[in-house]
Structure 1
Amino acid sequence: MTMKKSERLIVKFVTNQASQEEIEELTEWLKKEKHQIVFKDFVKTNYAIDAAMYTFDSAQLKKQLSERIESESNVFQKRRFSSYYKYAAILILALGVFYFYRNSNLFHSKENVIIPRQDDIVLQLDNRSMEIDTSEARNVTDKNGNIIGKQEKNRLVYSNTNSSGKLVYNTLKIPYGKRFEVQLSDGTVVHLNAGTSLKYPVQFLKNQSRQVYLTGEAYFEVAKDKAHPFTVNTQEVNVEVLGTKFNVNTYPEDVSTDIVLVEGKVSLYKEKKTTENQVYLTPGLKGSNTRGEQKITIEPVNTDYYTAWVKGSLVFKNASFASIIKNLERHYNVTFINKNKTLGKEIFNARFDNEPIETVLKYFSDSYKIDYMIDEDVIIIK
């Protein structure tokens, strides 16, 4: 295991964000005495843990853990504490540091651990709304009880048929802190980023173009169908394709709408499409429209920067700190209060691959001396 990876696992463990697999991996790494020294020094340096170490007392640990578990009113939290007990005990035994457990922030310290809000993904049907639990698999039905699709945990798949009747729309609303995927009835796959809303037909109609409506950000893998062009409608720019892969970023609070083409060809236009007002993109190009303006500009880009979010990564290239914290709010479902107005204009470059927010903040703190304090789901930049 590299030093960088070991530090990531330590951060996740100390901030109660490590999975059981990651804790088992960290436990295996800690079997070497030199790694235990690294662990203690890292925790002491970065989490202000007192250097004093006490003898491990498994009975006392079990008692205190049980008390914590019983005090939790939320069933999910009980399950999580129960599953963590076994591995927490292994780690503490390996280190011989009961004091670390007793004084650290391992179990939801409200002073130093960020606790993001947990909001639900909502599917708005023709006559009702339902919350999406990504741990479940179930059928989705219309108002008449007919099965129109199936939820497969974090993916929703609609029946692959065309309709000859009228259009019936569903809308998926993704909160901050979550992502989701939907496969439309024509086979088109759409990856939805945090803070996004997508309105689409349950079934597309024969002899009509395929149209969906987007607010937020989504990556489209459009099924090819020459007879039925596919159009993504946003508040500012419309995107028309036959079959291709592209990213659309159109958050209402952002100053521009950006379309990045990965594969195929797309046309962009404002309002109604005419021969004169269309702009075409080929792979590797980004089309942008500043809100309120008519002109669509084009520039070559590295498409990976704009699609990394699909796999959970965050990439910032020549980005202002103000725009970075806006993205962090969406990605982690937290709130930033930036009291350093000069800092908001500073430009940064960074990449984070599925990191907990504590790791992200530590990077900025260590690299750029950014000072901050935490109050549950609120991060205050001093």
Structure 2
Amino acid sequence: MSTALPSTNSSSKRHYVDPTPFDPGTTEPIGTENESFYRASSWQLMWWKFRRHKVALAAAFVLLLFYLIVPFVEVIAPYNQTKRHGDFLYAPPQQIHLMHEGRFVGPFVYPYKFTFDLETFRRVYTVDTSQPQPIRFFCQGDAYEFWSVWNTNVHLACPPENGTMFLLGTDRLGRDMFSRIIYGARISLTIGIIGIAVSFALGLLFGGLAGYLGGWVDHVIQRMIEILRSLPELPLWLALSAALPPNWSPILVFFGITIILGLLDWPGLARAVRSKLLALREEDFVKAAELMGASKQRIIARHLIPNFMSHLIASATLSIPSMILGETALSFLGLGLRPPVTSWGVLLNEAQNLAAVQLHPWLLFPMVPVIVVVLAFNFMGDGLRDAADPYH
């Protein structure tokens, strides 16, 4: 009895093919350079995808510059926000020049001279181009209290000796608009961060309870969200802002407006948290944590929320512009922050007079940083949302 030998026909031969290609110039497989990709955390993957979004990256850089100004507004602003120049009421912006009569002088401004028009009862400003006045840098100017700790007078840039430097003009009291916009950045930018912190905490709390517990808790929270979202937002802002006591200090008004904005913004975030928890609470790792005796609070805080925290950050970033616009709208209407607090909305409140805007259009300059910051937050939020999407 003979045993059949395996056929040596080429058609029946099985060839092993290495699925990992090799680079002829090296002894390492090409696939190993992607090893870091497979070992990367979700935050690293999110950063790598966000880095490819050039518009969002540029918007993040713009926002970084704005928020770097916040701790150093006294140093950057050439004047104190309350300093008045009685001889320069509604003075137009002064231009910065580098060349004078064909020679390089450096950054300087030409001084203003004004005459009073008896027919229109207006000041007429003329530029004296015969006397260039160099701008001083890293100099001593108006005194201020830095971070409420040090008394100093050091500024990044100062007006010329015995001269003026009104880069964005002055208001009805002769206060420098550029300095007041710089000071206003501190309030307008921080109110968005504090407001979203309040909204974020409430959204995580109520959304987490509704999504994980379900049942009657979910029904009660959903009905509460529906009631809040059915109310007109702007009239509700106005009503709550008008209810703040008029004798409150500016700091209390600031925190009151912040809490109002946060209380009215959390329902959208809570619904996003609820939908994510409903999708994740049936996963195997949740069941394993329950079998190991983990409490509901621990499961939500340590296992569920970290799995979609990147999505929450993207949603929160898109909510900050609404906070800034809300404060600006309330202050513009006179129901938000009030002087002596300076914000972009308070500065725009002076632009309600159409006659003043027609004669002095530089009063609308505080609108420019509002537009830039809101657009930057929206572009960065779009980039973060795309980066946090695993299917994008």
TM-score normalised per structure 1 = 0.23
Answer with 1 or 2: which has the greater Rg: 2
**Higher strand proportion (structure 1 or 2):** 1
**Higher helix proportion (structure 1 or 2):** 2
